[in-house]
Amino acid sequence: MLSPTLSIYFGKHFAKMVGAIFGLSFLLITIVTYFEFFNRAFRGEAVAGLALAMMSLFRVPATTEEALPFAVLYGSIAAFVIANRRLEVVVARAAGVSAWQFLLPACVVGLLIGVVATTLYNPAAASLLSWSNKLAQEVFIRAEKQPARSDGEGPIWVRQSSADSESIIGSVQSTDEGLTLVGATAYVYAKDGKFQERIDAPRASYRPGAWRMENATVTAIDSNPRRVDTYDLPTNLSADEVKGTFLQIDSVSFWTLRELAASARRAGVSADRYELQYNVLLSRPILLLAMVLIAANVSLRFSRSRDLGRMIISGVVVGFMLYVVTKIAWDLGSGGIVPPPLAAWLPAIVATLFGVTVLLHLEDG
């Protein structure tokens, strides 16, 4: 049995290495994000230097959530390699300490990091991302009165109808839980399907029965574009349907996901996105535990300098494969092809079982 003193020592060493890797990732992502905003400002979209720095800092925590599993993986590899270099693993084994006892502090720290990341870090990151979106809306839209560009995967489109027309409205970004669209574009069609006009607006606010599009540019067939202060686009969508479509899932706190999912189901809207995100966050401690076990498999037996390159490549390959699997599972779950709980939990559980199986084979035969 590993003594409490050694357990605390190994746990602190492991936590320091993971924290160092995560801090480095945070710094690099902050710099890249700031220069991205600075590039937009340099082209004339904004000139507020302090606001750009604040937007970058507020946006980074939500981005680094995806980097956390890799920080744990590479931090674990670094911690185990250093322990090997210092012969701590050799001494511990000579004293009768098994690999499982040696790994226990790292596994506990990995689980604790996952719990803190889900219950504390995620709500804080979601709030900061919402503030960053609102600040970007103020800086970039008011600076040039033009739509802000999305930092995500592209615009989201939804079809809606009214008594005498149908329309498709899309947005590159949203705030206010999806009720305010940033960089909105709408295409209006008559009931017979004939195109009537296109409306572009820096901002569109949802109101019961209509979208209020401000400073809009209306382009109709056989006519020049015209500017209007406000344009009311009729819609048959309810507020819950709008939130279910346009709400940026990364800006939703872990503690409110279940409530939003229940609200979506009551409104007859698919709650798969909320259920999937909730289960992904809930399974995060198990995923980080899997990263610790995988790191142990590729680095605990490292003993020679020439093994370092092979070990690093193995860690990168395993991390990349797990990232691809989790993304595929996310797409399957968000598309309703597989149940969201299965899509969220299966990669973490399979990776953990894989790590345990390989360690059992290496240690116990």
Domain ranges of the chain: 156-251
Cβ partners under 8 Å of residue 286, min gap 6:
114, 345, 348, 349, 352
pLDDT recorded at residue 364: 62
Residues 6+ apart with CB under 8 A from 41: 47, 48, 49, 52
Q: Is the Cα torsion angle 336, 320, 253, 132 positive or negative in sign?
A: negative
pLDDT at 265: 81
C-beta of residue 120 within 8 angstroms of C-beta of residue 128? no
Residue 280: half-sphere exposure toward Cβ, Cα within 13 Å = 23
The pLDDT of residue 279 is: 95
Global pTM?
0.82
Look at residue 117 in the predicted model and tell me its pLDDT: 96
Q: What is the mean pLDDT of each run of 10 residues along the chain (365 residues)?
A: 79 93 93 80 58 84 92 91 80 75 90 96 92 75 45 70 87 81 90 90 90 92 89 88 81 90 78 91 95 86 61 79 89 87 94 88 66
Tokens read off for 292: 């610790």
Helices (H), 86-98: 88-94
Tell me, what's the pLDDT at 49?
Answer: 66
Q: 75: Cβ–Cβ under 8 A, 6 or more apart, which residues?
A: 14, 17, 18, 19, 20, 21, 22
Residues 94, 97, 98, 102: is their CA dihedral positive or negative? negative
Q: For residue 152, what is the DSSP state? A: S
The pLDDT of residue 44 is 52
Give the pLDDT of residue 133.
79
Rounded CA gap, 224 and 209, in Å? 28
- The whole-angstrom separation of Cα 176 and Cα 345 is 30
